[in-house]
Amino acid sequence: MLLASSWRRIVTVTAALLQTAKAVTNFTGDVLNGIPVISYLDLNDVPPAAMTRYYLYGSELNAGVIPLHIPIFVARGPADTFESGKKLSISAAVHGDELNGVRVVQRVFEELETKAASLNGTVIGIPTINLPGIYLNQRNFFTSSSSGFLTNVNRIFPGEDPLEGASAPDSLAYNIWNHVWGNTSNVDVALDLHTMSTGSDAPLWCYADVRLPYVERLAKLLEPDILKIDEGEPGSIETTFVDAEIPAITVEIGAAKQWRTDYQDRVVTFIERLLDDLRIAPSDSGPYEPDLSDTWTAMVYHNLPALHGGFAETLVKVLDDVVEGQEVAIIRNAWGDVLEVVKSPKAGKMLRVATDPATEPGRSVAAVTYNTTDPDCAAGCII
């Protein structure tokens, strides 16, 4: 009898071989909660005019007895529209404490299930990429080997081949990139949904590398509170797609660990606009003209770190306009003595403020956004 880990390795090898021959969706034979498990997705095999659920065999945890099964939605239009229609990917929770996007993906596919018969294209949804992070209620993927370490999954895409000894998080990123997104062959446009990290408040905003065609249009359709022009982080989902010339943005939906239905509503509406813009679910109203009257577009994201450990009292709110030198936070010690006053270095708009007062040296207690004529920041800067 084969050990479970050996059997799964055979399945993975089989999937890789199939990609080089005739690509077909590879079913492992497992069924969880009535949903089939796959190790490779070929959109040609997905039932047309339907919304289908799969689990992707993503990786394994310590001792090899707990495989990670990642939920995958696929909404595909009728067979005769498959070649002509666009393919959109919507992913969420690559950081395990950033959960507003989970509900957005769920809501979008609740709608798509009723519209699948009339779709002109395909939509892939991954609501929960980082299951260990979600389980531990924190940002990163915990790997228990030796004394344990944490991995930011949104810095390691496109991952590394598990057949070459990759770690569990690198294997997860590899399998999603290659076996769901098909190394971009299954995706024409991508959205990656986030929130601010735990301990800070933020509005609805996005990162957008506007150097790639259609990215600026994509960001403006969101009608964000802040549109951050940005060249992206190496290894992030957004940047990996953009490097492959697939338009993508990172959408930041408020604060972590808070169900913000107002922001969720806005992102669901944005995706409806996008589905129309891509003609996947076209409306009769014609091209949508974004209303950017309440959108602040900025090149620079400037973190404001504390120099001392203590307790931060913020003096401004998210989206407040600030002037150069304005006090934005006070750091006090355990006695209540003022250790420092944090000030804005430039005039701009507040993107983030701390909600967790406990502060250590170097922790950013706020962030201000502004614009500059510095040519080195033409594609965006983070300071």
Q: Give the per-residue pLDDT at 242.
A: 98
Rounded Cα distance, 111 and 276, in Å: 14
Hey, what amino acid is at 132? P
Q: Give the per-residue pLDDT at 53.
A: 98
Q: How, if at all, do strands 226-229 and 149-151 pair?
A: unpaired
Beta bridge pairs of residue 353: 201, 366
- Mean of the pLDDT values across residues 336-352? 97
Q: Give the per-residue pLDDT at 95.
A: 98
Domain ranges of the chain: 4-277, 300-382
Hey, what amino acid is at 136? L
Q: Give the per-residue pLDDT at 81.
A: 87
CATH code for the part of the protein at 300-382: 2.40.50.100
CATH-assigned architecture of domain 4-277: 3-Layer(aba) Sandwich (3.40)
Predicted confidence (pLDDT) per residue in 49-63, tens digit = 999 999 999 988 887
Q: Do domains 4-277 and 300-382 have the same CATH topology?
A: no
Q: Give the per-residue pLDDT at 341.
A: 98
Rounded Cα distance, 96 and 218, in Å: 25
Q: Give the per-residue pLDDT at 23.
A: 60
* Chain Cα centroid distance, residue 184: 16
Q: Give the per-residue pLDDT at 238.
A: 98
Cis status of the peptide bond prior to 127, with omega within 30 of 0 = no
Best CA proximity match to 351, nearest among 244, 197, 233: 197
Burial (CB count <10 Å: 0-12, 13-18, 19+), residue 319? middle
Q: Give the per-residue pLDDT at 14.
A: 46
Rounded Cα distance, 321 and 341, in Å: 18
Rounded Cα distance, 192 and 141, in Å: 17
- Mean of the pLDDT values across residues 29-48? 95
Rounded Cα distance, 228 and 351, in Å: 10
Among the ranges given (2-11, 158-167, 347-356), the one the predictor scored with the smallest mean pLDDT: 2-11
Buried b (16+ CB within 10 A) or exposed e, 276-305: bbbebbeeeeeebeeeeeebbbbbbbbebe
Q: How far is CA 36 from CA 33, 39, 52, in A?
A: 8, 10, 10
pTM, rounded to two decimals: 0.92
Predicted confidence (pLDDT) per residue in 206-233, tens digit = 999 999 999 999 999 999 999 999 999 9
Predicted confidence (pLDDT) per residue in 140-159, tens digit = 999 887 778 899 999 999 99
24 C-beta neighbours (distance < 10 Å), count? 14
Q: Give the per-residue pLDDT at 6.
A: 41
Average pLDDT, the chain: 92
